Amino acid sequence: MSNKDINNNYNNNNNDSAVERAPETPDTLSSASPSTSNGVAITEAAVAAATAAGRVDQSVFHSNRIRPGVVVVSPDTDTSSKEATEDSRYASVASTVFRDEPAAASSAELKDVVVNGESRFEGGITGAVASSIERHLGSPTTAPFPVTAVELGMLSDERNRTALADLLAKGIQRETKISEANATHPHHHHHHGPGSMGARAGSDIEAPEAKQRMYSHVMSLVEKIREDERERRIPLQATDHGLHEDDHDPLVQEADKNADMAANVLTTVLLRSSPESGIDPRELEHRREVFGTNALTEKKLDSFLKLCWDALQDFVLIMLIVLGIISMVVEVTTHLGDCSTCWIEGSAILASVCIVVLVTASIDYAKQFAFIRLTKSLNETNTKAVIRDGQQVSVTDDDIVVGDILSVNSHNLASIPGDCILLGPVSGLKMDESTLTGESRLVAKKPGDVILSGTNAAQGSGQMVVIAVGINSMSGKIRARVYETDEAAGDELADDGENSPLFVKLEEIAKRIGIAGTVAATMAFAVSCLIGLVVNGDEIDSLVDYLITAITVLAVAVPEGLPLAVTLALAFSSNKMMSEENLVKHLDACETMGCATTICTDKTGTLTANKMTARSFFYGSQDLSVTDPREHLGTYIHNRGTSQHIIDLLCNTISINTMNETVLHYGEKDGKTVKSASGNPTEVALLYLVNDLGQDYARIRNTTRGRSNQGSLGEHLSEGKQFGFSSARKMMSWAVPDETTGGYRLYCKGAQEVIGQRCAYYLSSDTGEAIPMDDYGRDAFPNASLAYARRGMRCLALAYRNLPADFDFEAKSTEVKNSDGTPAFLAETEMTMIGLVAIEDPLRPEVPDAIEKCYQAGIDVRLVTGDNPNTAVSIAYQAGILRDFHFRQGTTERVAVNLRDNVLMEGKTFRGLVYNVKESGEREFDQAAFDRIWPYLRVLARSSPDDKLTLAHGLNQSNLFADKALCRKLLLEENITVFPDRQVVAMTGDGTNDAPALKRADIGFAMGVAGTQIAKDAADIILLDDNFASIVTAAKWGRNVYASIQKFLQFQLTVNIAAVVTALVGAFFYQTSPLAAIQLLWVNLLMDSLASLALASEPPTEELLQKPPVNRTDSMITKHMWANMLGQASYQITVVMTLLFAGPDLLGVEPGHRVEDRDENSVHYTIIFNAFVWMQLFNEVNCRKLKGEFNVFKGIFRNPLFCGILLVTAGLQALIVEFGSLAFSVSEDGLDAEQWLLCLILGAGSLVIQQMINVIYRLAQTFNVRRHSRRLAKDRAQATRQIH
């Protein structure tokens, strides 16, 4: 049903249906609290009157705050008593809801609605309107809603309280119209039987003033919210820097209460849900029809036929198709005599095309489903707790609907499945919105705030109502935009759609080979016609034979095995990469990563472990900071000889003064190894420190009187005193009985600037004893805290105090104040400072080595993060992205302020420099300005996902390398090397808004664990372990792919050169080729395809990462490869020509052309074919090495696949020669032992020839170097003479 249909139905429907009476269960009844901290207090008289008639449901007073809730009358209460007191009961509740006294005007509609749970829509004014919807618009499972999905989506877009108020106003205005329309048509009401609300419909219609007053109150609330916004009393988002200074203002508190009420009205009136009971499960399908489903339409998979069509676009395959068709037509139409096998050669060529196409398409098709299986397995684990029909149930994200009441908490880092509005009360809920904004700072939320889909609950807990799902939610809109703009025009940052560097080069090679083959075939045909028809006087019918010979030459020239070789190499490498935590979605991404020149990486989870960890401990005069990511702080503290007294104090303070919700989970085997943790990330880091110090936090906590809730000690839990954490105090403490002194010991932790001012003593690093706080102490701790902060670390102070047994824990200090100006607890003053603990998200241990490998491989690494500059620089320096020369000379502290210009840049500054603003207000990317920045840029902090897109686009399009003078200057003056070609950019991302950048980059890496679905869809490779080291692995395999294809090209083109020359010579002298087309097809396709798999299976070596990336414009065929190919081809041509012309005399066999004239297969040509093949097999071993290595057998036995394929190919060749006379045009009797030995010796000669080529090439290189040196010396001498 469309939104238009819903609205029409909404405006025209005036049916009336009753609401069935809910079952009355005593379990849901409870006493009401006599007071509230949120609104006007209920008088004791009102509560007494209410309880005299019945009991009030506790949901009304949830968490000591009045909220719209149902007032339930005890089922055993006398009806007359109920009638006598219900006015006062409703008046008391209404006065709290509307915050106006008296509330007599509101009590009428409350009384009219909420008695004995007759309406499932629980709550005050919201219940009244919801009940009105049920009675006047039909069944609750089909009744239209007063808001549309589009309007709710606009609320998600605007994300402010004015938008919330506007939405409420629209809904109430529609409700008013419906009520007025229904009042004029009372005869349409339906009654569902006695005892239902429908039986009282008449009385409802007779009192429309009650509804109008209720609507008026809601509109009054709307106006209050609008006024609050106009007067700027509402912070749009509460920040993580502590409470906003105005949050203590009564006006701001009132505004927050208004927003809380508005969220509840939205939930119950407009969305027909309830914070307490959720939605009616019968409405699920209706809600999906009205507001959409949360199961986003999956990206359409390419069909198998489409993948086949894509594979057919290869230039070589197109040539083969044409060649095969021509061959079949010519052979079948011109063949004389029996044509039972004349079609074989053309069919074999077409069959080879089918094999390549099917293999390529099958691999791509299987990759699609592998990705789908990964996605589904992840989706099945994404479940959320929602309230439906009063019960909390677990449903998958796809099953969430608008109106669901979602319960989230930070223990499972819950990801929000749809856009929501937060309902009160909340428990310190803070959201991580980095997936959408790129900003890693947590954002505190208040009731009435919009919670966007794709964000995560990082701290606290809360309830929220879902307002937009699927395509209507924020993440859904972004996902749709990503998929729909694949071919969008007009976006200056859009991908230009160019092929990967590998396929660009292969296409160029294929075209050149095609042109050369066509020229050779034309030459063969022309020469054959000249010699045959003019010189020898052959019949005109011989033209067909000449044409077949020309086709054979063309078939030899075209590398039929190349497409399959490339596909097999990519497929083999991608499967190997899968076992090394890289899921390759697009095969060409394997090789592209091998050409990468720049990696733009995230920080959290990629470079770091995504787990807060204690890394520094400062006490007395000792600064114990761990710099090696493989070392634990606890071990380091022990190794530095810290006294056991201080270690015990540290462990006791942490263990006792942490929340029960923060726990470490140990492995089952030894019970000591930490398997996982849950709770507050900061406290988890502290508990890990206790564990690393060799102590058991649980044992300390459970054996401490006044802290333990276990066993007999649990009876004394009340003897302890907790001072809870709050943003106003910025600290928390726990006092427990001290059996040694008979008094108490208070343990405290919190912000250094707060605790430091309350400490009168500190522990000496020499003796471990408490000494008075002196000038050194007053300076040392703030300075240490500042130093940690400059390194991007979060600092906590730990302190303790001994208290007498009769100490008054409620006593307040007259001198010390909390952050909000309120008096501090006296117990939390005059403390002894234990020390400072600094925590951070530490670097993964393997990252520094991986970064070093990148630099050795000529790959620049840039850090792009939403974190603040200090944190970003600290991690970048530890990882090795930043080196000492990036900092100003004369500075020793490696912090952000000491970096050289443009090495670090914040996102806002970056955008301001690389974009020009036109007069129309549109932004225009400035490539020249970007080129002035990017060579220096190493860290981009506080960046947004759009900055990633700009960076990927600018790097990819930069032609700075063409300015040789500037590149030379950067190298000499700044030690900056600019890659001598266009950049090949790899980009990592995990957030929804990272998707465009991942698509724009040459290679997009998405995080398999932390990444959103949209990011994974946009990426080329998925890092299954979210680890930067896996990116380096991908680069190594990518370079191996490139090297494997180079090896095969060297092998294939050597075959082609020798075969083309052989075929041309045969055509010139005998007007036929000594190698039959079917024999050449075996060499070029089947044998070469096996060779491609053998060479592709060569495992990568570390040497691949010790040379720079290959330029985009460099040819795949290097000078050394040309030397190898020409040298081996010359040897093979020499052997074949010798066998062709001198073979009959040397071997005592009849010349092959004479035997062929009798339509028989000759021994002569069989020897040539066999020797030719064995030379290729031995040369296959040579091709394992590309750089002139002398030991071509090195590592061959570590690759069993290569050895196996070599043996299989040799065995097949032997079978063909001995038993393949009919199919492969070889001698019927095969070859004898002497002839076989000759072929093997000639084949093995390729190994000797390769060694000769290597020696000659090195001598030539040495000669060139010396000649170049002499030329330079001569030029310098000439210049010197000119000066003199």
Question: Annotated catalytic sites, by residue?
Answer: 602
48 φ/ψ sector (left φ>0, alpha ψ -120 to 50, else beta): alpha
Query: 3-class DSSP state for residue 820?
Result: coil
| End-to-end alpha carbon distance in the chain | 94
Do the Cβ atoms of 981 and 1113 come closer than 8 Å? yes
Look at the alpha carbons of 1239, 1243, 1248, 1254 in this order and tell me if their dihedral is positive or negative. positive
Whose structure tokens read 């330079």? Answer: 1272
**How far is Cα 1232 from Cα 832, in angstroms, rounded to an integer?**
99
Do the Cβ atoms of 311 and 330 come closer than 8 Å? no
Query: 3-class DSSP state for residue 780?
Result: helix
**How far is Cα 396 from Cα 294, in angstroms, rounded to an integer?**
10
Residue in 596, 450, 553 with CA at minimum distance from that of residue 1074: 553
- Please classify residue 475 by burial: count the beta carbons closer than 10 Å to its beta carbon, then call 0-12 exposed, 13-18 middle and 19+ buried: buried
- Burial 43-61, CB ≥16 within 10 A → b, else e: beebbebbbebbbbbbbbb
Residue in 1164, 1146, 1131, 1141 with CA at minimum distance from that of residue 1242: 1131
> For residue 940, what is the enclosing H or E element?
strand 939-941
Q: Give Cα 624 distance to the centre of its chain.
A: 35
The 3 state secondary structure assigned to 800-863 is EEEECCCCCCCCEEEEEECCCCCEEEHHHCCEEEEEEEEEECCECCCHHHHHHHHHHCCCEEEE
Do the Cβ atoms of 553 and 520 come closer than 8 Å? yes
Do the Cβ atoms of 868 and 935 come closer than 8 Å? no
Distances (CA, A) of 670 to 674, 685, 691: 10, 21, 14
Phi, psi at 1003, each rounded to 5°: -135, 120
Q: Give Cα 621 distance to the centre of its chain.
A: 43
Structure tokens at 437: 């904004």
Q: How much is the CA Rg of the chain, to the nearest whole Å?
A: 40
**How far is Cα 736 from Cα 745, in angstroms, rounded to an integer?**
6
**How far is Cα 735 from Cα 746, in angstroms, rounded to an integer?**
4
**How far is Cα 932 from Cα 963, in angstroms, rounded to an integer?**
12
Question: Which DSSP state fits 530?
Answer: I
**How far is Cα 345 from Cα 328, in angstroms, rounded to an integer?**
7
Distances (CA, A) of 431 to 118, 310, 445: 38, 44, 7
Phi, psi at 466, each rounded to 5°: -80, 130
CB-based contacts of 667-675 (< 8 A; 24+ apart in sequence): none
Sequence-distant (≥ 6) Cβ neighbours of residue 341 within 8 angstroms? 1222, 1223
Q: At what angle do helices 161-183 and 124-137 cross, to 10 degrees?
A: 40
Residue in 156, 414, 152 with CA at minimum distance from that of residue 267: 152
Do the Cβ atoms of 416 and 451 come closer than 8 Å? yes
Structure tokens at 122: 């629980």
Residue in 803, 681, 799 with CA at minimum distance from that of residue 751: 799
Residue in 990, 948, 1217 with CA at minimum distance from that of residue 1082: 1217
* Cα atoms in the 13 Å half-sphere on the side-chain side of 246: 15
